[in-house]
Structure 1
Amino acid sequence: MRHSESVTFGGSGLDRAAHLRGDSEAVARLRAGGGQVLVLWRGRIPVADAGGLVWLDADHPLVADLPAPVFLGLDDGVTRFAVDLPGWVPAEGAPTPAFLDQSRIRHPRLATDQGFAELRAEMTRLTAREAELAATARAIIGWHGSHGFCAACGAATEMVNAGWQRACGQCGAQHFPRTDPVVIMLVTRGNRALLGRSPGWPEGMYSCLAGFMEPGETVEAAVRREVAEETGIRTGAVRYLASQPWPFPASLMIGCAAEALSDTITLDPAELEDALWIGREELLEAMAGQHPVVRPAREGSIAHFLLSNWLADRLL
């Protein structure tokens, strides 16, 4: 495995067993014969306070009354599924949305040392396999939650193919999960890297520039366009570095290196609150939490991966 594949949510070798998805009887037998289910609530994943995902048996009281779960794959002999928990409201009420929510939401049918947590807050505490399973579960469950009606005729659709497809009984249209490609760029000029911060981010937090690809656009063209739109910087050579599934809600972050051809930043305030050039020495301070102004991108993100590996000269 290339070093670039070690990014959080990167491929852990999970056997997704796609050949079984169309065999509903086989999937049902796997679920009944020791299948383990990951129950998500409002996009949150169930975790133990000591760390790690919480898997429940298919006949667990929290699972038994829920709809058929999505088949995630075979995890070293264990069949993995995921399902959404709709309708439940905790006694203390739903938490207030926060940029990085560290709270645990307890459910009466989970153990006292278990609860629902934001995946972004837990991603660095999970094993590579757990992270891939959690990211897959969050993305596919989120897709089902937002695609309950046919885009062609508006009729209600139903889940088929073990959760990897939705079918419209009205017009016969078939709908499949989507992934939105996003370019994220390590833009450098000599010994400096270009960083930006979006409005609403925590004070001092900076990251690599990023943006959604547009129809009819290559990865390289998207990199050059986004950097120019956000900062006015012209870029030349672009090369692929690494990718990261980012299930918030369903993106694929395509990490690239881009060589800047200009220095002067002309900020687009609709896109960024600030942008700056930072040298390697300053970035080292920022990554260590010692810079007076700049805080690094969140650990576990591909931006943090790209910046830390640029500092270590390990980008392939």
Structure 2
Amino acid sequence: MSVPPGGSTPADNPPPDVRGFWPDDRIAGAVTDVPLLSRTAHDRGHLSRSLPDPAQGRPVRVLLVDDQRAVPVRDGDGRPELVYDERPTMPEGAIYLGEADGAVYAALRGPRPDVTEGGQIGRWAGLREVGGELGDLDAGLLAQAVGIVEWHERNRFSPMTGSRTTVERSGWVQRDPENGREVFPRTDPAVIMLVHDGGDRCVLGRQAVWPAGRFSILAGFVEPGESAEAAVAREVAEEVGIRVTDVRYVSSQPWPFPQSLMLGYVARAVDTELRIDHDEIEEARWFTRDELRSGTGPQALPPTVSIARHIIDRWVAGEFS
């Protein structure tokens, strides 16, 4: 049960108009801050979700999320900024995200407007494209907005009775109208791991659907009744046929495509002969630190928005051995 290397899930197939987007980046080693690693500069306000009016007279800044999970963006001073539609009250169907700087933030699913009001929206962009460049407040709100919108899109009916659910608590609960049971947002745990040989090499793999020459670290879903560390060992064995030891946790990253939490690890290979399961991945190879540092290895690495790149950079910089 595999996740394509790099932190994407099987449902994470970008639409045709963005499938070709991939940063031209093949040199690793400058340690990157993962922009979606706990970058939350707003109060999620979990108690306010149960109030009839979570805004309570404060201005509401609404982030419109279209059916491709793109949002309005303008290019500010040195970095992009999300464009919010400020309203006096929570609009119907909006999902409460929390509050910051005296304002309430909400996400609203809907089509892009035909006309950009006031010319404030420079472009529409997705989390992969701009997540690494946003400030902390925008990055945290965008990851949260995309994740909760995905949950609503995929859970319109009760898993217990099949009845269409009703939305409550400002978008954070769906209720089965037949039995009254509440359905809450869920997050799927997945592991993503850099496997090294204890020396100067690590394993990178690639999916057939990726652009030619693009490699990343291995990843996979945690199965029921399984620990994250056991999932690391199992997924590596399944994908490239080697055993690992010294499995160590690095950090985590929300990856709302559609609803994963990526748990990052490094692990040391016990044996080094790769036996690739081509049903899992197309190709896997050992790469040296120098190849990744100099750009003579893969033609493309994961973007800096991803935990995959964060772990690769830290290993190349010598943090893990």
TM-score by length of 2: 0.83
- Which whole-Å CA distance do the structure 1 matches of 2:114 and 2:130 have between them? 18
8 Å contact from structure 1 (residues 306, 315) kept in 2? no
- Which whole-Å CA distance do the structure 1 matches of 2:171 and 2:208 have between them? 36
Task: Tell me what 2:190 maps to.
Answer: 182
Task: Tell me what 1:22 maps to.
Answer: 50
Percent of matched pairs sharing the same residue: 37
- Which whole-Å CA distance do the structure 2 matches of 1:315 and 1:242 have between them? 13
- Which whole-Å CA distance do the structure 1 matches of 2:173 and 2:267 have between them? 37
8 Å contact from structure 1 (residues 5, 242) kept in 2? no
What does the per-residue CA deviation read over 1:174-211, in whole Å, with 9 as the maximum and x for residues that have no partner? 10111111100011111111100011101111000001
- Which whole-Å CA distance do the structure 2 matches of 1:142 and 1:74 have between them? 21
Cα distance change, pair 29–216 in 1 and its aligned pair in 2 (3 A): same
Task: Tell me what 1:76 maps to.
Answer: 101
Q: 1:210 aligns with which of 202, 219, 235?
A: 219
Between 217-226 and 154-163, report the one with greater CA deviation.
154-163
8 Å contact from structure 1 (residues 183, 222) kept in 2? yes
8 Å contact from structure 2 (residues 188, 261) kept in 1? yes
Cα distance change, pair 22–241 in 1 and its aligned pair in 2 (3 A): same
- Which whole-Å CA distance do the structure 2 matches of 1:55 and 1:265 have between them? 49
- What is the CA distance between 1:294 and its match in structure 2? 3.5
- What is the CA distance between 1:107 and its match in structure 2? 3.9
Query: Which amino acid counterpart does residue 70 of structure 1 have in structure 2?
Result: I
What does the per-residue CA deviation read over 1:101-152, in whole Å, with 9 as the maximum and x for residues that have no partner? xxxxx74144444332222111122112211110100010111111111111
Task: Tell me what 2:265 maps to.
Answer: 256
SS in 1 for 2:247: strand
8 Å contact from structure 2 (residues 196, 202) kept in 1? yes
- Which whole-Å CA distance do the structure 1 matches of 2:193 and 2:102 have between them? 38
> What is the alpha-carbon root mean square deviation over aligned residues?
2.2
- Which whole-Å CA distance do the structure 1 matches of 2:297 and 2:195 have between them? 22
Q: 1:144 aligns with which of 152, 158, 168?
A: 152
Q: 1:120 aligns with which of 121, 124, 128?
A: 128
- What is the CA distance between 1:6 and its match in structure 2? 4.3
- Which whole-Å CA distance do the structure 2 matches of 1:293 and 1:311 have between them? 14
Query: Which amino acid counterpart does residue 72 of structure 2 have in structure 1?
Result: P
Query: Any runs of at least 4 consecutive aligned residues in structure 1 with deviations exceeding 6 A, and if so which?
Result: none
Task: Tell me what 2:22 maps to.
Answer: none
Query: Which amino acid counterpart does residue 186 of structure 1 have in structure 2?
Result: L
Map 1:93-172 → 2, pairs under 5 A: 107-112=114-119, 113-172=121-180
Query: Which amino acid counterpart does residue 142 of structure 1 have in structure 2?
Result: E
- What is the CA distance between 1:261 and its match in structure 2? 0.4
- Which whole-Å CA distance do the structure 1 matches of 2:157 and 2:239 have between them? 35
- Which whole-Å CA distance do the structure 1 matches of 2:261 and 2:244 have between them? 22
- Which whole-Å CA distance do the structure 2 matches of 1:15 and 1:132 have between them? 10
Cα distance change, pair 75–192 in 1 and its aligned pair in 2 (3 A): same
- Which whole-Å CA distance do the structure 1 matches of 2:285 and 2:117 have between them? 46
Residue 292 (structure 2) pairs with residue 283 (structure 1): yes
Which segments of 5 or more consecutive residues in structure 1 lack a partner in the other structure?
91-105
- What is the CA distance between 1:314 and its match in structure 2? 4.2
Cα distance change, pair 255–292 in 1 and its aligned pair in 2 (3 A): closer
Greater share of residues in helix: 1
SS in 1 for 2:166: strand
Q: 2:244 aligns with which of 235, 241, 252?
A: 235
Q: How many residues align?
A: 284
- Which whole-Å CA distance do the structure 2 matches of 1:311 and 1:110 have between them? 46
What does the per-residue CA deviation read over 1:267-314, in whole Å, with 9 as the maximum and x for residues that have no partner? 11111111011111011023xxxx264421122110111011112234
Residue 192 (structure 2) pairs with residue 196 (structure 1): no
Query: Which amino acid counterpart does residue 307 of structure 2 have in structure 1?
Result: I
SS in 1 for 2:158: coil
- Which whole-Å CA distance do the structure 2 matches of 1:310 and 1:165 have between them? 41
8 Å contact from structure 1 (residues 198, 273) kept in 2? yes
Cα distance change, pair 310–144 in 1 and its aligned pair in 2 (3 A): same
Map 1:286-297 → 2, pairs under 5 A: 286=295, 291=296, 293-297=298-302
Residue 74 (structure 2) pairs with residue 48 (structure 1): yes
TM-score by length of 1: 0.84
- What is the CA distance between 1:58 and its match in structure 2? 2.0
